[in-house]
Structures are given as structure tokens and as C-alpha cells.
Structure 1
Amino acid sequence: MSYSVFVDTALQLPAPDVEALIEGRVIAAMPRMFIEPGRSFALYPANISINLLPHEQYYRSSFLPIAKTSFSQLSSETVLIKAWAKCEWCQILNDSESLEALSQLTVWTTDGLQQTLLQRRYIFLTHLRVYLLPQPLEIPVHPSGNFVSLPKSLNVTDATPVVSESIFAKRRHKLKKFEPPDYPELEELQSALVYLSTTNPKAKQLDAEIKMFLGWSEKLPTTQPDPDLAWISAIAQIGNSSDGNTFEKLVRKSFIKLGFANSNNKPEASLNPESTGGAGGLDFYCETPYQVVGECKATKSETVADGTPAQLIKLGHKHLQEQYNCCIKIIMAAGQLNRHAKLTAIANHMNVIRPETLQRLVELKAKQPGSIDLLQLKPCLEQQPFGEEADAKVNRYIDDVREKLKVRSQLIKIVKNRLEITGVENAGVETLHGAYYANPNPPQPLKLEEMHEILIELSSPLTGYLGRIKGENLGRDRFYFLRDLSLED
């Protein structure tokens, strides 16, 4: 349940430390004074250093580029406040034995921490739960002091935490016990992406996903929709028109988008959208991961005559010869087939698929890139029924994929909610199975073993939706939340 609080002061911290807190890279700061747990305040990025060491010696090399950028972006007249924080705990360190472990969990070097301890005699390590402000607050620069009075009190809420409660609890436990980080190699990889991610969109996305996996971020930044959706959304409209040439190009682009390919450069039997087959060539031909050949028929209102399936047979044998018989055969057509065309299509094992169904399939691929498995789609295209009833097979495949995505999204939500409600760090399979059926309308029935297999799938490093603590057997595996799986209509 959300709550609000009034904040009238801001804690001054070095600008890089504030940036690390906002990124979720750290959950602690080193103020110059003890801070009472429960106190709330804004975070003021100041042009100050903790000690006399240069930045290169004070901040870990993996964080140094961000530290330098944070200082360089400071203004001499105003300060931009982006977040507020609540102190959850404040521990006092006065020995050097734990500083190396602390360095691994933060952005500071061991030497920097040693120097700070020598200079102050004590380190006040404040554990902070950080929340983003709806809008940044710009205030005049304040010359000095631990806390700065804000021009006016802010009524802030906990609606936008940098990290979830369960992830914060897990990281806070590590910080209290000075346990090493789980994935130091991934932290190094993320650091290597810092410069590249500013110019490369794929590197930026990978950077965001790694931060999510490490628990530095609560959710991925808002990403732009797949630009291909612009032409994908026109497939049905063009297919139901008389623009056959454009429809053929869209069909070819669709098969490429789905993951089909063709190394054949001959325009008579290719998949190149910019070099269509023309009057004497096949409308589309795929070589991998399996052979597919097809004919397109954009129609505004008329029925599809027997000439369309007959054309596919004629050109298929002409350009592919013996390979034609090994191909899955598809007619992309908006209009209804007449009686003769139906008989020819069924007798020759041709799938008749509507433009609306193709659009639906490719839209799912664009919105959920890993959702379409072409090898699982293959049986839908090579088994009876053929003809116009084949369209229903493909739609059932799409519905099945969407249903599987709903199940996975629901399981991720269950793990997330379970940990946030109970405050525990992870949950077992039996507990999650019970929570799944606590919902009066679960997406589909799941046996305990089936759920366990899906949870393992979601905790794979290649998916990274959940984390897994491996047990000795099924009942001993435990899972925790990493990131959401959002579904689009």
C-alpha cells in the first residue's frame, strides 16, 4: 500500500554517490553524521569529495566514467534533485577489516574507504531506500552543510522505488553481513557497456537488462516500439486491396521478420522484398529453417480462382524442381477460394492463410521477440487439415503462444507479490503453486512439476525474469523476482 510523507530537507552527498543511488547500483551512502533510521530527505548531488584522494583512486574503475560525468554536469548556480530517500539503517564502522568486502558491494575503492576512515575515525554507512521524484526539483546551490533546507516542503510518495522491496531486502542483508556480490563478472560487463550504450541501441538495451538482472533497477526503461510495427500493421489492409505487388513485398518481409531466410539470389525463387519474382517467379520461397513456398493473392472483394493454386504448382516445379515436393506450401489470400480452387489446394496440401492471421503472427513476434518458435509452428503447416481450414491451425498456434506468455507473466507476478507481501527473500515451488491456485481464474491448470519446469525456464540467465537458488530436489529449489514480463495486446 502506497504512502506519502513530507520532505523539507536534502542530504548533501557527492554527485557520483547520488547517481549511484539513483541507478540502483548502491543502496548505501557515507554521510558525515549518524542518521536516525526512519528519517526521510531528498538527495542533493553536491560538488564535494569525501576525502582528498583523486577520483581515480577513490571510485572503482568500473564506476569511474559515471563519477567523472556526474561531476562535469554540475552547475555552479543550481542543483537538480531527482530523488528522495528513507534511512533504513545506519551502521558505524571503525575498523579496516571489512572495508575490502564493503568496496565490492559499493562504488568506492578499498583505498578510498581506508582514507575516509583515517580522516574521520568513523564511517557512518547509511542504508537508503531510494525513490524517484515525479519531476526533478531545481534549487539554488547551497555552499555547505550536511542537510540543506528545501525552498518548500515536498509531499512525496513511495510509488516509484528504484528497486523493489524484496531486492532491497536481499541487498541490505548482504551489506550488513559484508557478503560478496553474486555476479561480479556481470558488473564488469555492465561497466564495459557504459560508453558503448550511449551510441548503440542494442548495447543500451543489454546494459538495461544487466542492471535489471543485478537488482540495480526495478524495471527496464521505456523502450520505443519495434519500428517494423508500422508496416506490419498494414499487412491486412494491403492484403484486402488490389495492390498485389505491395502485398507480396509485405509477405516476404513478414517471413524474414519471423526468422525465415533464403540465400538464393535468383529473383524467381527468393525472399528479397526489394526483388520480387515478377510474373514468372514464385511470390516467396524460404530455405531455412525449413522450406516454404507460396503464392500471394491480394483481393479487394472477388473470390480466388483455381488459377492461384495452379500457378503455385506450375512455378514451384519450374523453379524448384524436385525440391518443390519437400516444401510446405502456402497461399496468402484475403478472398474466399472458389470450389475448384479449394479442391486443388486441399489435394495438393496447400495451407490457405489470411492476411489478418499473418499480421497477427508477425505482430506477436515484434512485441514478444522470443515467442515464436518456427519449429513448433512447422507441424501446424505440414499436417491436415489443408485449404482454408489451415488458417484456424495457425490462429490456434498464436492463441497457444499467448496463453503460455500469460502463464509465465502470472508466475512472475506471483513470485514478486509473494516476496513483497511476506518480506522473505525467496519462495519454494510448493508455496508458489499454492499461490497460483489462490487466483480463482488461473490462466491454465498446472501440475507442480510443470510449474517447476516453467520457473526454471524463467530463471535461465538467457531470460532473467527470476533468480533461482538450486536445491537438492524439486521441493528444495527456491526462486526470487528479477524483472517483469509485460504483455501487449
Structure 2
Amino acid sequence: MNQPVLISTALGLSAPDVEALIQGATIAAVAEIFLDPGQEFALYFRNDFTPQRPPESSDQPTEVAETVKIVAIARCEGCQTITDRNSLSTLSRLTLWSLEDLEEIIEDQGAIFLAHLRVDRLSEAIALAFHLPTQDRIGTPIALPVTIAVADSVPVLSDRTFAYRRSQLEQFLLPLHPELDALQGAIAQLARSQPTAQNLDDDLQQFLGFGNPVPVSSEDPDLTWISTIAPVGHSQDTDGFAKLVRQGLLKLGFSGPELLPEFLIAGEGCDFYCETPYLMVGQCKAKNPKTAIADNPAQLLTRAANHLGTERYERAIKWIVAAEELTVDVLNVAIKNQMNVIRPETLQSLVHLQAKYKGSVDLLKLKQCLRQDPYGWADDKVNSYIDKVKESIELRSRIIKLVKRHLENARLELAGVEALHALYVSSYPHHFIALKEMHEILIELSSPLTGYLGRIKGSDWHSDRFYYLRDLSL
């Protein structure tokens, strides 16, 4: 901690409860009275006392001073008053107490005061001797004889983990994966002394839906060579351009040994070819200032068709990436045989988009785009697809900002789907989206693989709750 925390009140709990709190197995404690949010306490084992009796010869009345061991400090973040007996079975599964213990508490007190404690573990225990009230019971705050200053402590749980556990208690939500929840808690403790366990802890938190987002590199190093696609395409470096085109296709998600930059398809009449995720074949032509394209479509039609066979060739997506102009006859051949001719700048824009926003280019949707008219020069339809992808990214960026702004303004930790949708509709009336689509986008943004938002899963999609993690920069 940067500044010492001054603690003047203590909270005595049973040894198992304190141990569970400092191990991160729970964030809840049953208090004797309602605890106000913001109160800070020294935690000690209420049943771990060593009496220190005065000498028998003393003329003073016999009193017993107790030595208590303070092992952690805790801040009350909230206190639930539970009176509904129907909720006790779920509460038992979310805490360390048996159903019988909870029923006994509610029978005795009329209510359960469930304190949500944010615990910091001390590097060294502090022993204090003082007189405890004779009527003191477990879970009752008492005044310390002296104020203690705590400057060296470590949070037991991260902000995200604590928020996740607290949301479970507040909404009585049972974990979807109790075994993984338990494993994550054990791994989190191991990670403190074994740094190699931290990656596994991060992965488990991401899967369970409350971990910190995976750090994302601010700049893809491939952007350097991607920016050379168009310039090399307008040079006379035919081989260099062919290698860059294949690299670009690999970056988009096409795969196959034929796309490796060093691979050459000698005598086959095509410069690139692959079968995953679908059959694709094509040629590229760097700029030659003296000629227009005279034979590329014809070569692709005859030689590649012979190589693939007529049926497979007709199924294949056919590309020509060319910096040169097409003659009228060549253009007609390309159109008649459903060939897509694009300029190097268009391919560069497509690959650049994929590098900036990984996974944004959907190859199946791109296939639909390339399967539609017009054929021949296809820059307009490919650029139209690029614009749609950018609009989709902008929409997601707006939603992330909206979640962040709403939580900050309302001073909330979580926000529901319907509240966010209503806020979006009022904020962006000219960009309407349906409630169900809003939820689908929120789910996408809260995936561990994206990590822009976090999600606490509800009983159905209407009760899902979301929180902000990081921005989507445009």
C-alpha cells in the first residue's frame, strides 16, 4: 500500500472463517450485526486466545487479558440482510457454512448479516493483548486498545475476482463450473509462490469470465511488410510481388503449403493456390509500364483448369491481383469466367484490416462477396466489404464506450442487457440495433479471446450482466 491504513476496530471470526478469507476461498463473513460499507477491521481468530492472568498476589481484581493474533485487515464492501429461508440452500453452496448452521443463525438472530469483505493479508501477524468484552460473540466489531498502522499488506483477490464472487453472492448465482472455480482458487494461491502457475490462473479466470483481459499488442509487426504490397505491386518486381500476395493471403487466414512465400507453382499458370478454407486459385501481375494485361486471365483459365480439373476449377474462387489495366478482350474473359481482378491497394487494405483487428475479415463472408457480380474489376465490391467490416468494428467500439460511460456515471460495477440497449438506442438513434443483436455483440465482446468486456452469466440471457475491461481503439 502507498499510504498506511489506520485500523482502530477489530472483527473476530472463527479460525476456519479467517483462514478461508485470507486464502481467498470466500469473501463472506457472518456478522453479529449489520456492518456498514466502508468500515475497516483487523481480522483475528476469535477462538484463538491465550489468557494472560495477573499474579495471584496482586491486590487488583482478577481480570483476564486476551492475546489476539491479527493476520489480515478487511474492508466491508457491502452487507446483505438475508431473511428468506428459501435462499439458504444456495447460500450454503456459495459459502463455507452448512445449511444447518445457516438455519440455526437465522433462527437465533431472525436474519443473517452477510458481510462482503475485501481482505488484505499482512506480511507478518500482529499480536495485541487487551480486554475483550465478556459478552463478545463471533462476528461482533470491537474497539482496539490502540490504533494500528498497516503499511505492508497484499490483496488476497484481484478486483475482477472479488467483483465476480460478490456478484454471485448478491444474485445467489451458483457457479456454472464449480470444479473449475475450486481449481482456480487453489491455483491462485499457488501462483503467489510459484510464478509459473500464473499463466494457468489467468487462463482459468478468462474461461470463468472474470479475469483481466489478455494483453494485446498495440501494433502488429506484420504491418511493416503489409504496407509494401501496393508499392511492390507497382514496381517491376514480379517475384517479390507474388511472394507478398501469398503472405497477405496467409495473413487473411487462407492456408496451405502452396501459399508459402518461397513456394513456386512452376508451369501451372497460377501464382497462388489453396484449398483451405475453400478452393482458391489466382495470379498476380506487377506493373509493367509498357504493356497492359494481355494473357493473365487466359493463362488462369487454361492452365489452372487443366491442373485442377474442370469441376474443381469452376468451384474455385478466382483472383487476379494486378497493377496494370485490362484490355477490353481480357476484361471480357475475366467477366465471363467469374474472375475477380483487384488492384494491389485493395489487397493491401484488406490485409491491413485483418492485421489491425485480428479476425475481423471473415473468409466465408469474403467468399460470398467474391461470388457476386460484378466480376472483372472487383475493387468496388471488395472495398464495400471492407467498409462493412469497419462499420461493424465502429459499432462495437461505441458499445464498449457506452458500457464504460454508463458504469462510471451510475457508479455501478455491472450493467444489464436491457439497460444498455435502452441507453444505446437513445444515444445512437440513427444506428438502431435490436435487443437480441445487442446481446450477441456483448457476448462476443466479453469472450476471453477478445477481452473488451467481462460477463457475469445470469439464469437466462436477459439477466446477463456485463462490465468494462478495455477500449477498442479505432
Into which bin does the TM-score normalised by the smaller protein fall?
0.5 to 0.7
Q: What is the root-mean-square deviation in Å for CA atoms of aligned residues?
A: 5.4
User: Which residue of structure 2 lines up, in the alignment, with residue 297 of structure 1?
Assistant: 285
Contact kept in structure 2, 1:309 and 1:345, CA below 8 Å: yes
* Matched ranges for 1:217-366 at <5 A: 217=211, 219-224=212-217, 226=220, 228-262=222-256, 270-278=258-266, 280-299=268-287, 304-322=292-310, 323-366=312-355
Q: 1:348 Cα shift? A: 3.1
Contact kept in structure 1, 2:175 and 2:181, CA below 8 Å: no
1:478 corresponds to which letter in structure 2? S
User: Which residue of structure 2 lines up, in the alignment, with residue 406 of structure 1?
Assistant: 394
Q: 1:481 Cα shift? A: 0.3
Contact kept in structure 1, 2:168 and 2:174, CA below 8 Å: no
* Matched ranges for 1:396-435 at <5 A: 396-415=384-403, 417-418=405-406, 421=410, 423=412, 427=416, 429=418, 431-435=419-423
Gaps of 5+ in 1: 53-83, 93-97, 114-123, 132-138, 153-160
Contact kept in structure 2, 1:303 and 1:337, CA below 8 Å: no
Call closer, same or farther: CA 1:372–1:102 in 2, change over 3 Å: same
Secondary structure in 1 matching 2:314: helix
Secondary structure in 2 matching 1:477: helix
1:480 corresponds to which letter in structure 2? R
Secondary structure in 2 matching 1:351: strand
Q: 1:381 Cα shift? A: 0.7
Gaps of 5+ in 2: 11-17, 49-72, 82-86, 102-112, 129-143, 153-157
> Which of residues 150, 159, 162 in structure 2 aligns to 1:162?
159
Call closer, same or farther: CA 1:19–1:292 in 2, change over 3 Å: farther
Is residue 2:81 matched to residue 1:88?
A: no
Q: 1:350 Cα shift? A: 1.7
Secondary structure in 2 matching 1:296: strand
Call closer, same or farther: CA 1:257–1:393 in 2, change over 3 Å: same
> Which of residues 424, 438, 445 in structure 1 aligns to 2:432?
445
Q: Choose 1 or 2 for highest CA Rg.
A: 2
CA distance in 2, matches of 1:200, 1:347: 60
Q: 1:109 Cα shift? A: 10
Contact kept in structure 1, 2:253 and 2:363, CA below 8 Å: yes
Secondary structure in 2 matching 1:362: helix
Q: 1:483 Cα shift? A: 5.2
User: Which residue of structure 1 lines up, in the alignment, with residue 463 of structure 2?
Assistant: 478
Percent identity, please.
Answer: 36
- When normalised by structure 2's length, the TM-score is 0.62
Residues 274-316 of structure 1: CA distance to partner in whole angstroms, max 9, x if unpaired? Answer: 3222465521112233221110123386764223333323431
Call closer, same or farther: CA 1:336–1:423 in 2, change over 3 Å: same
1:285 corresponds to which letter in structure 2? Y
* Matched ranges for 1:200-211 at <5 A: 206-207=203-204, 209-210=206-207
Is residue 2:12 matched to residue 1:9?
A: no
Q: 1:7 Cα shift? A: 4.4
What is the aligned residue count?
Answer: 396
Contact kept in structure 1, 2:360 and 2:389, CA below 8 Å: yes
- When normalised by structure 1's length, the TM-score is 0.60
CA distance in 1, matches of 2:170, 2:175: 11
Contact kept in structure 2, 1:27 and 1:128, CA below 8 Å: yes
Secondary structure in 1 matching 2:159: coil
CA distance in 1, matches of 2:376, 2:199: 41
CA distance in 1, matches of 2:403, 2:77: 24
